[in-house]
Amino acid sequence: MSGEVSMEERRWKRQLRSGHAPRQEQSRQAERDASVIRVFELVVVPGIVQTAEYARYVFTASSELHRSPRDTSAAVQARMQRQEVLYDEGKTIELLIAESALRYPVCPAPVMAAQVDRIMALAGLPSLRLGIVPLGAVLPAIPMHGFWLVDDQVRVETVDSEMHSRDPDKHALYTRLLDALWDSAVEGEAARAVLAEVARDWASSGCSG
């Protein structure tokens, strides 16, 4: 029974009925109030480090898929406001990004290059721990999807829903997975080297994305 109570499924059809901006504001408030934010992303760059142009492509694609109202400019602005949390030195923020998320062309090559440059610029923030899981890294555990740990809450996005859970067992499981993935990650100068290589590849790419 406790597991049922601690799990909440939020369908995108309902969440996005007024567009993406209200959902971004909900995230901004939750992240502002949180002490610990730990993130793993496999396919897409985490929202709190996205550039405005990258975010614009993400929201446009999502609106197409979910047939939700197009409030792209407002959604991008709200997502940019979420990034204020990165400068709060009282928080613990860990972003673990698979190199694959930096290489999937979800937008044109110049936008991808600028996005990777943005991540490099943020890497030195005192509140931020940044790790990259290189494409050639051996994985001690297999992540099936990205996820967020916000204090004691697990958040997982699927195609049709967003799952929020405060189940301690579920949180412990995702924590073990995340810790294992960090063991395969590079940080510091090694992470910068991966980012620099990806940025060079995008800058020299003729792919329009």
> What does the pLDDT read at residue 206?
55
> What does the pLDDT read at residue 175?
98
Domain count, the chain: 1
Is 208 domain-assigned?
A: no
- Encode the chain (209 residues) as per-residue pLDDT tens digits: 344 547 899 998 898 998 999 999 999 999 999 999 999 999 999 999 999 999 999 999 999 999 999 999 999 999 999 999 999 999 999 999 999 999 999 999 999 999 999 999 999 899 999 999 999 999 999 999 999 999 999 999 999 999 999 999 999 999 999 999 999 999 999 999 999 999 999 999 854 44
| Residue 39 structural domain | 2-203
> What does the pLDDT read at residue 205?
86
CATH of the domain at 129: 3.30.870.10
Is 141 domain-assigned?
A: yes
> What does the pLDDT read at residue 6?
78
Question: Distance between CA 84 and CA 103 in Å, rounded?
Answer: 26
Is 81 domain-assigned?
A: yes
Is 45 domain-assigned?
A: yes
Considering only CA atoms, which of 135, 140, 155 is closest in space to residue 23? 155
What is the distance, to the nearest Å, from the Cα of residue 195 to the centroid of all Cα atoms in its chain?
16
Is 209 domain-assigned?
A: no
Question: Nearest 5°: CA angle at 104, between 103 and 105?
Answer: 105
Question: Distance between CA 24 and CA 45 in Å, rounded?
Answer: 15
